[in-house]
């Protein structure tokens, strides 16, 4: 693409020269497949990337567009920043969210502008297209990655964003510059000079302030938990760091008690969002330090009780993998295998039974399909599930069952 835009060569020449850079990439993938090809897919945990819990493609798409919009917003205004963007920092949203449509329109406009500029080989078009190609890798649309959002992921997109802004600034304020002493020219263009200095000072100040937050883990987690109080990970990190700090030698009993109360507040925040094992463990440690041993034991016991929550989250992951295998890959055996794993962990999820029924129906086993549809309806009565039961029994010619479930359709 660089050869095409900058050196203005033909597509054939550009592809021919670009092939030299593609060969190492292909070689890398071949080596990776040889090493990891037989390994099972790594399940993405909902605590790391909540988008795996999206209910359907529309919510997944809407949330992905919200993520793209947040990346662009941070490119323009890098504030507030956070060391973590996992569970509940970025909510799952639908197409009724105005931020989603703003992001769609902005990015669609950028894409259309870049495509149009390609005809004339405009350098600005290459920069915008490069930014979009770099950032789309992390928006969860082409592939769900291990984290929902990360400032570090915007490193390469930031390069193209800065190139674009710099180019536009130059076109806007330096159009009359034809060589010579650049210092004298900048002095004459006081508006441009003032703007450049102002932006440099502002972003320099933001950078220095953020560096102070990274002084140590205690400062970082407490600062970021205040920025995103809905984050499980940040609250958990703040609680653990305060608890560790309370062990520091030389602290008065009153100071220790104050720190333990602060740590407990962070744990309470986690419990309201989503109880996790580490929060119960930290609460147990707080009670132990407070010498409230009976309560400490109760919290420690609940760490084991969270196995049900862990299994439910794993079941959800297997369910969505099974849905994808059936809908997108058209691989029914794989879909049934994954859905079976999901049911082994959580057999109380109606949607999983429904998807299993769909899979059996598509493979021609209408009896199994009917049984699974009935189970889905039993767990979550509703017209949609009842309709599928009716269709399955119609295929089997069981009119009694058809009439029974037709009465349940509203």
Query: Residue 250 has what pLDDT?
Result: 93
pLDDT score at 8: 65
Contacts of 304 (CB under 8 A, 6+ apart): none
Q: How far is CA 167 from CA 121, 146, 228, in A?
A: 15, 34, 34
Hey, how many other C-beta atoms are within 10 angstroms of the C-beta on 131?
24
Predicted confidence (pLDDT) per residue in 195-217, tens digit: 888 988 999 999 999 999 999 99
Which residue ranges make up each domain of the chain? 2-36, 50-173, 217-305, 313-406
Q: Into which CATH architecture does domain 313-406 fall? A: Alpha Horseshoe (1.25)
Residue 320: predicted pLDDT = 82
- Model confidence pLDDT, tens digit, residues 301-342: 887 666 676 677 678 778 888 888 888 888 999 999 989 988
Whether the domain at 217-305 and the domain at 313-406 fall into the same CATH topology: yes
pLDDT at 263: 97
Q: Measured between alpha carbons, how far is 395 from 377 in angstroms, rounded to an integer?
A: 18
- pLDDT digits (tens), the chain, 410 positions: 665 666 666 667 777 777 777 788 888 888 877 887 766 666 788 999 999 999 989 999 999 999 999 999 999 999 899 999 999 999 999 999 999 999 999 999 999 999 998 888 888 999 999 999 999 999 999 889 999 999 999 999 999 999 999 888 877 776 665 666 666 666 667 777 788 889 889 999 999 999 999 999 999 999 999 999 999 999 999 999 999 999 999 999 999 999 999 999 999 999 999 988 889 989 989 998 898 888 888 888 887 666 676 677 678 778 888 888 888 888 999 999 989 988 998 899 999 999 999 999 999 999 999 999 999 999 988 888 899 989 988 999 999 988 888 888 87
pTM, whole model, 2 decimals? 0.71
The CATH homologous superfamily for domain 217-305 is Tetratricopeptide repeat domain (1.25.40.10)
Strand, coil or helix: what is 352?
A: helix
What token pair was written down for 175?
């159009």
Alpha helices in 93-216 (DSSP H): 98-119, 123-135, 155-173, 182-188, 190-213
pLDDT tens digits for 67-99?
999 999 999 999 899 999 999 999 999 999 999
pLDDT at residue 130, as a whole number = 92
Residue 28, pLDDT score = 85
Q: Looking at residue 33, what is its pLDDT?
A: 77
Cis before 362 (ω within 30): no
Closest C-alpha to 5, from 133, 131, 121, 129: 121
DSSP state of 49: -
All residues at 6 or more sequence positions from 52 whose CB lies less than 8 Å from its CB, including other chains: 44, 45, 46, 144, 316, 317, 320
pLDDT at 174: 66
């Amino acid at each position: 693409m660089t050869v095409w835009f900058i050196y203005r060569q033909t597509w054939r020449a550009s592809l021919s020269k670009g092939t030299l850079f593609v060969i190492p990439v292909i070689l890398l993938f071949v080596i990776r497949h040889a090493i990891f090809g037989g390994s099972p897919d790594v399940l993405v945990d909902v605590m790391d990337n909540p988008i795996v819990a999206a209910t359907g493609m529309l919510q997944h798409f809407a949330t992905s567009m919200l993520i793209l919009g947040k990346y662009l917003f941070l490119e323009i205004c890098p504030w507030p920043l956070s060391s973590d963007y996992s569970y509940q920092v970025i909510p799952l949203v639908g197409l009724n969210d105005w931020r989603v449509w703003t992001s769609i329109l902005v990015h669609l406009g950028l894409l259309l502008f870049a495509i149009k500029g390609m005809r004339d080989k405009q350098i600005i078009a290459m920069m915008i297209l490069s930014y979009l190609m770099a950032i789309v890798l992390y928006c969860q649309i082409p592939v769900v990655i291990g984290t929902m959002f990360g400032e570090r992921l915007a490193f390469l997109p930031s390069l193209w964003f800065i190139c674009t802004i710099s180019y536009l600034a130059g076109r806007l304020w330096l159009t009359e510059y034809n060589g010579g002493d650049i210092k004298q020219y900048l002095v004459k263009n006081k508006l441009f000079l003032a703007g450049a200095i102002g932006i440099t000072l502002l972003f320099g100040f933001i950078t220095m302030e953020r560096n102070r937050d990274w002084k140590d883990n205690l400062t970082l987690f407490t600062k970021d938990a205040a920025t995103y109080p809905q984050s499980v990970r940040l609250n958990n990190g703040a609680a653990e760091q305060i608890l560790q700090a309370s062990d520091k030698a030389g602290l008065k009993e009153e100071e220790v008690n104050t720190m333990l109360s602060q740590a407990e507040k962070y744990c309470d925040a986690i419990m309201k969002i989503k109880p996790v094992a580490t929060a119960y463990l930290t609460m147990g440690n707080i009670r132990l330090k407070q010498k409230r041993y009976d309560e400490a034991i109760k919290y420690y016991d609940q760490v084991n009780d969270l196995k049900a929550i862990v299994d439910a989250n794993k079941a959800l992951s297997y369910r969505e993998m099974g849905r994808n295998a059936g809908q997108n890959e058209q691989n029914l055996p794989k879909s049934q295998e994954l859905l079976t794993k999901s049911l082994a962990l959580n057999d109380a999820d109606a949607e999983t039974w429904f998807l299993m029924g769909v899979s059996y129906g598509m493979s021609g086993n209408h009896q199994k399909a009917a049984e699974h549809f009935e189970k889905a309806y039993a767990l979550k009565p509703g017209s949609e599930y009842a309709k599928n039961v009716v269709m399955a029994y119609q295929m089997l010619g069981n009119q009694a069952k058809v009439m029974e479930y037709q009465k349940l359709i509203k």
